[in-house]
Amino acid sequence: MSRTYRYEELLEKTAAVLRSFGYSAADAALTARVLAEAEARGVPSHGIGRLKLYRSYITDGFVKPDAKPEIVKETPVSLTIDGHDGIGYPIAEFAVRHCLDKARQSGVALCAVRNTSHYGMAGVWAEEIATEGMIGVTMTTTKPNAMPTHGKTRMLGTNPIAVAIPAAEGAPFLLDMATTTAAFGKVRVYERRKKPLPPGWAADMNGQPITDGTEFLRQFNSQPRHGGLVFLGGMSEETGGHKGYGLGLLVELLCAGLSLGGWSYHALAKGSGRGAGISSFFAAVRMDLFGDEKLMRAHIESILDEIRHSEPADGQPRVYIHGEKEREARAAAMKNGLVLDDASSNMLEELYSALGK
């Protein structure tokens, strides 16, 4: 059965489990916060269910919990960071803090990161920049789980892009999207909940559509390279699949290309002797570079408001702006508690109980 947690309780238990993996107290607290935010916002694919995966990253040698990020190239408006195979969350926080500092001085800051690992829900980092009144951008490579258009070999990752733009009312526009139709974590959520995958999410080892999540994961794990997720637009050029593929490839080039880091095809390769091999990219842009910030934020809000109040399609309650569903889910969770599905709550309680708590 599902279980409901208070936000603070979930933070405490998750941080304790992460410390048992070798995370420092600060890194555990930060990672726990971002995982809890995903659960609160209704994005369980990036939440507590990843705990055992993070432990395996350490035992498999992909992540070194004591590694510290290093700036290896720097200008007034840019920096390149080597994460030295550390935990993705503190590396992302390091990048965001340095981007904000530079953007306050120079107006804009760009950051490429190599040798990092999974940093959770991308939107959290873009939003962190937006709360400082700047446009925030982040993207990251992942393990190889998606096929280029007309291919059947997994070459690229889900490669999310997140952009946050401040508006007048404090809540930013927040686009947080995988360049595939669905994030890989969502496939795992559907599989453990015994729900069929929606059409257009995945292809089998022969490059054909598949909706059986259990069979898809079986093939995915048994076939080193064939079969995987489908990019936005579907499996053909006629439906625009090449556009999603192009976005995914763009992420690879901005993240791995600019940082001289690993790209998705070589990431998380067991027995390679390398770290996770993930690369990422961040940007912070001060709005006053373009004019009167107050007027721009009000204008942005007016655009969003007109779309928000446009006429919904038959059977639909309203038109949403990106980020609104997650904010509303978070508000409800903070009031009523965070509901974890049975698989995630059982995992958390098992790991927590093993600590003798």
> pLDDT band for position 122 (50/70/90)?
very high
Phi and psi torsions of 63, nearest 5°: -125, 135
Tens digit of pLDDT for each residue in 125-168?
Answer: 999 999 999 999 999 999 999 999 988 899 999 999 999 999 99
Q: Chain-wide mean pLDDT for the chain?
A: 95
In terms of domains, do 118 and 207 share one?
A: no
In terms of domains, do 112 and 177 share one?
A: yes
Q: What is the C-alpha separation between 122 and 181, in angstroms, rounded? A: 16
Tens digit of pLDDT for each residue in 60-89?
Answer: 999 999 999 999 999 999 999 999 999 999
Q: What are 183's two structure tokens? A: 């994030």
Inside any domain, residue 20: no
pLDDT > 90? residue 271: no
Q: What is the pLDDT of residue 330?
A: 97
Inside any domain, residue 220: yes
Inside any domain, residue 24: no
Helices 7-21, 51-59: axis angle to 10 degrees equals 10
Q: What is the C-alpha separation between 29 and 291, in angstroms, rounded? A: 38
Q: What are 298's two structure tokens? A: 């009000």
Tens digit of pLDDT for each residue in 86-106?
Answer: 999 999 999 999 999 999 999
In terms of domains, do 209 and 270 share one?
A: no
Task: Provide the CATH number for the domain around residue 268.
Answer: 3.30.1370.60
Inside any domain, residue 318: no
Write the CA distances from 203 to 71, 154, 221, integer angstroms.
Answer: 40, 10, 13
> pLDDT band for position 221 (50/70/90)?
confident
Write the CA distances from 81 to 27, 70, 72, 264, 266, integer angstroms.
Answer: 18, 6, 6, 18, 19
Number of domains composing the chain: 2
Whether residue 164 contacts residue 172, with contact meaning beta carbons closer than 8 Å, is answered with yes
Last residue of a domain, one of 285, 308, 331: 308
Q: What is the pLDDT of residue 1?
A: 62
Give the lowest-confidence range in 122-136, 221-235, 275-289.
221-235
In terms of domains, do 88 and 199 share one?
A: no
Inside any domain, residue 7: no
Please list, in sequence order, all residues whose beta carbon lies within 8 angstroms of the beta carbon of residue 240, skipping any fewer than 6 positions away.
Answer: 232, 233, 234
Q: What is the pLDDT of residue 351?
A: 97
Inside any domain, residue 254: yes
Inside any domain, residue 144: yes
- Could you say which DSSP state residue 236 is in? S
Please state the pTM of the whole predicted model.
Answer: 0.95
> Which residues does residue 146 pair with via DSSP β-bridges, in sequence order?
156, 229
Q: In terms of pLDDT, which residue wins out, 247 or 200?
A: 247
What three-state secondary structure class fits 64? coil
pLDDT > 70? residue 220: yes
Q: H/E element holding 70?
A: strand 70-75
Q: What is the C-alpha separation between 146 and 155, in angstroms, rounded? A: 6
Q: What is the C-alpha separation between 80 and 113, in angstroms, rounded? A: 6
In terms of domains, do 165 and 97 share one?
A: yes
CA 44-249-154 angle, 5° bins? 70
In terms of domains, do 192 and 143 share one?
A: no
Q: What is the C-alpha separation between 36 and 190, in angstroms, rounded? A: 19
Tens digit of pLDDT for each residue in 6-49?
Answer: 999 999 999 999 999 999 999 999 999 999 999 999 999 899 99
Last residue of a domain, one of 265, 281, 308: 308
Q: Compute the average pLDDT of residues 232-241.
A: 93
Q: Which domain holds residue 221?
A: 186-229
In terms of domains, do 170 and 283 share one?
A: yes
Q: What is the pLDDT of residue 140?
A: 98
Inside any domain, residue 147: yes
Whether residue 252 contacts residue 140, with contact meaning beta carbons closer than 8 Å, is answered with no
